[in-house]
């Protein structure tokens, strides 16, 4: 695995430390560099090995930052970072996970109360000390106290956008060993759950100890937790990786078992028992009921029916193979029994991206660059949806009516030279009352597509937000409700709303509900998508791309939609251009 995410996190930490000390310019420079390092297709350690000049090939990385990157890759730190840490010795990443606590707040609380950790922050809030600090009050103190629990829970689970690439790289590393016959990702990552506590990988081999040693010897394994014949655990960039090695002829049953979820496995076990069978990590067995109830019978008792492949395991229980994304005990076993499993959406089904930003608002690239990148990605069409002006828009980047008319001309020029169709849209804010945008209805009516997304008033007052979102989907010019809950995973909780009520309203209004594919959002999530599919509401998968690299987030959006049982017919941008235009009329 490349070290891009690791290096980017360090640059972000240094930016936070500088901001805390009152530096108003350099933090943004470092953060942009961090984003570009994170998204770079080149492994940062390979560039660093060539020297600072090679690192500077990444956009936004100047000479000074490049030298810091080389020092960090070679030594694990750089002098300025250590000086900043010494000047402000706090757990910056953990503290700033608390909503409303930024780097400058961290410094104020450190200077006034000596707060350095989440535990100390929580203690200060519970003891009523924060409200006594200048610039704070009882309400701020209460918000911080409530936010600590969420921040602590968030810190225990990594984003899928971090764990899935790591898991894939672990399997690639293990597959290179001659003794490994098969290897696969398991656990919640294989089910594409949005956060994961660790990385689970399963390998088939008759030489378990050698395979475990191969993982422990991996150059990316910073900490070896345990090694053994059947299980080896290491830590990579702060994330625990658990490897289980099984004999090849039990790989399928082990993969099914260790993929989970637990509730799916319990339901599957009960289904097996009803047939006089037993299913576990060692296989499916035809057993006498006395054997099932006998605690001393052992795990492999009975006649082995299947174990080598997952398909054989499900078939031995009279079921078709069930895709991992829907193994959550939400009716999938009954559907499999009735031969009614969904034909789930695939990445190849998606024909275009309907949520893309350019440098006309807060994107990083010009219109032509984003369109060209969409064509290179393989899309048939792309819709540019820069932010409209209004609350919740970053800085002054939102577009007015006049801006949108001017952009329409610019998009027409790009469209003339493009290899794909280019649509013109906008992303407008949904305020706390459900009002859409600060631009006029006339301006919205002239566009090909309108996304309405909550960016302000994100549950600050608590309570159910269903009415607000329903108002947005019922707006006559709104085509898609973007990232409906407004959540940022591990950073900001989702707004409360009734997914079934929202889905019914969207279906009635002919408005699509977005699965925002950005790994920090994945909003809607699986169960909410399922509610939309059940109600007949359309789904739109948008990457919310601000740079060409972010088109790759599509895979996370597709698998999130799959977790909600979405088929291609449920997805707006799985339609060809003519059908899409019909759906938008």
- pTM for the model stands at 0.80
Q: How large is the average pLDDT for residues 272-284?
A: 94
Q: For the chain, what is the domain count?
A: 4
- Res. 2: pLDDT tops 70: no
- Residue 77 CA to residue 262 CA, distance in Å, equals 41
Task: Note whether 555 and 575 are within 8 A (CB).
Answer: no
- Residue 72 CA to residue 55 CA, distance in Å, equals 12
174 and 288 assigned to the same domain: no
- Residue 150 CA to residue 490 CA, distance in Å, equals 8
Q: What six digits make up the tokens of 410?
A: 């610019």
- Res. 394: pLDDT tops 60: no
138 and 30 assigned to the same domain: yes
Q: How large is the average pLDDT for residues 491-511?
A: 93
- Residue 423 CA to residue 420 CA, distance in Å, equals 10
221 lies in which domain range?
A: 158-246
105 and 182 assigned to the same domain: no
Task: Note whether 166 and 239 are within 8 A (CB).
Answer: yes
* pLDDT tens-place string over residues 203-253: 999 999 999 999 999 999 988 989 999 999 998 988 899 999 999 999 999
CATH of the domain at 297: 3.30.210.10
pLDDT band for position 559 (cuts 50, 70, 90): very high
Q: How large is the average pLDDT for residues 144-149?
A: 86
Choose the final residue of a domain: 246, 270, 305.
Answer: 246
Closest CA to 238 of 211, 269, 198: 198
Choose the final residue of a domain: 246, 271, 304.
Answer: 246
568 and 434 assigned to the same domain: yes
For residue 393, the model assigns a pLDDT of: 63
- Res. 461: pLDDT tops 80: no
pLDDT band for position 298 (cuts 50, 70, 90): low
520 and 396 assigned to the same domain: yes
Give Cα 106 to chain centroid, integer Å.
Answer: 27
Q: What six digits make up the tokens of 365?
A: 């690239």
501 and 547 assigned to the same domain: yes
For residue 315, the model assigns a pLDDT of: 98
- Res. 49: pLDDT tops 80: yes
* pLDDT tens-place string over residues 21-41: 998 889 989 988 988 888 777
Choose the final residue of a domain: 246, 262, 288.
Answer: 246
pLDDT, averaged across the chain: 92
- The DSSP letter of residue 264 is H
For residue 412, the model assigns a pLDDT of: 97
322 and 352 assigned to the same domain: no
175 and 81 assigned to the same domain: no
The percent of residues in the chain predicted with pLDDT above 70, rounded, is 96
Q: Is 342 contained in some domain?
A: no
Q: Which of 3-17, 98-112, 136-150, 549-563 has the highest mean pLDDT?
A: 549-563
Q: What six digits make up the tokens of 445?
A: 């009516």
pLDDT band for position 554 (cuts 50, 70, 90): very high
pLDDT band for position 396 (cuts 50, 70, 90): low
pLDDT band for position 5 (cuts 50, 70, 90): confident
71 and 174 assigned to the same domain: no
- Res. 392: pLDDT tops 90: no
- Res. 335: pLDDT tops 90: yes
Q: Is 493 contained in some domain?
A: yes
For residue 293, the model assigns a pLDDT of: 53
Residue predicted with more confidence, 395 or 178: 178
pLDDT band for position 168 (cuts 50, 70, 90): very high
For residue 294, the model assigns a pLDDT of: 53
CATH of the domain at 225: 3.30.460.10
pLDDT band for position 462 (cuts 50, 70, 90): low
490 and 442 assigned to the same domain: yes
pLDDT band for position 584 (cuts 50, 70, 90): confident
For residue 231, the model assigns a pLDDT of: 95
pLDDT band for position 148 (cuts 50, 70, 90): confident
Q: Is the Cα torsion angle 66, 71, 72, 74 positive or negative in sign?
A: positive
């Amino acid at each position: 695995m490349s070290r891009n995410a690791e290096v980017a996190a360090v640059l972000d930490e240094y930016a936070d430390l500088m901001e805390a000390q009152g530096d108003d310019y350099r933090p943004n420079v470092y953060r942009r560099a961090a984003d570009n390092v994170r998204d770079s297709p080149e492994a940062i350690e390979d560039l660093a090995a060539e020297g600072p000049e090679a690192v500077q090939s990444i956009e936004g990385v100047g000479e000074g930052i490049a030298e810091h990157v080389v020092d960090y890759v070679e030594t694990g730190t750089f002098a300025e970072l250590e000086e900043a840490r010494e000047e402000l010795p706090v757990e910056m990443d953990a503290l700033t996970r608390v909503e409303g606590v930024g780097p400058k707040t961290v410094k104020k609380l450190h200077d006034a109360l000596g707060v350095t950790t989440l535990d100390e922050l929580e203690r200060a809030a519970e003891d009523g000390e924060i409200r006594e600090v200048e610039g704070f009050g009882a309400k701020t103190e209460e918000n911080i106290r409530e936010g600590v629990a969420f921040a602590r829970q968030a810190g225990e689970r990594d984003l899928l956008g971090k764990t899935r690439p790591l898991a894939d790289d672990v399997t690639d590393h293990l597959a290179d060993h001659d003794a490994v016959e098969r290897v696969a990702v398991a656990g919640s990552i294989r089910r594409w759950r949005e956060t994961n506590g660790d990385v689970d990988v399963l390998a088939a081999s008759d030489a378990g100890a050698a395979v475990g040693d191969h993982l422990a010897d991996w150059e990316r394994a910073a900490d070896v937790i345990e090694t053994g014949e059947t299980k080896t655990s290491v830590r990579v960039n702060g994330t625990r990786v658990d490897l289980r090695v099984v004999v090849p002829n039990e790989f399928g049953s082990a993969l099914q078992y260790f993929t989970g979820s637990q509730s799916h496995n319990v339901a599957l076990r009960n289904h097996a028992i009803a047939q006089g069978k037993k299913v576990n990590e060692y296989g499916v067995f035809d057993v006498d009921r006395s054997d099932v109830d006998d605690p001393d019978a052992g795990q492999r008792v009975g006649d082995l029916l299947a174990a080598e492949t997952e398909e054989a395991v499900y078939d031995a229980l009279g079921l078709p193979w069930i895709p991992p994304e829907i193994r959550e005990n939400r009716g999938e076993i009954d559907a499999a029994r009735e031969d009614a499993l969904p034909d789930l959406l695939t990445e190849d089904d998606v024909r275009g991206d309907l949520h893309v930003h350019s440098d006309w608002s807060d994107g990083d690239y010009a219109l032509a660059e984003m369109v060209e990148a969409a064509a290179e990605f393989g899309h048939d069409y792309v819709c540019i949806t820069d932010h409209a002006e209004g609350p919740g828009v970053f800085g002054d980047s939102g577009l007015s009516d006049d801006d949108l008319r001017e952009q329409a001309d610019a998009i027409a020029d790009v469209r003339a030279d493009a290899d794909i169709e280019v649509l013109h849209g906008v992303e407008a804010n949904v305020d706390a009352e459900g009002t859409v945008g600060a631009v006029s209805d006339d301006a919205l009516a002239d566009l090909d597509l309108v996304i309405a997304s909550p960016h302000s008033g994100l549950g600050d007052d608590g309570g159910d937000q269903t009415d607000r979102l329903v108002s947005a989907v019922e707006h006559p010019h709104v085509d898609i409700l973007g990232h409906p809950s407004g959540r940022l995973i591990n950073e900001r909780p989702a707004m409360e709303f009734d997914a079934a009520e929202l889905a019914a309203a969207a279906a009635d209004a002919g408005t699509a509900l977005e699965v925002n594919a950005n790994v920090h959002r994945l909003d809607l999530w699986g169960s909410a998508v399922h509610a939309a599919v059940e109600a007949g509401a359309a789904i739109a998968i948008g990457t919310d791309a601000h740079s060409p690299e972010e088109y790759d987030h599509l895979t996370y959006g597709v698998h999130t939609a799959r977790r909600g049982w979405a088929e291609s017919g449920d997805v707006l941008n799985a339609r060809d251009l003519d059908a899409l235009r019909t759906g938008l009329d």
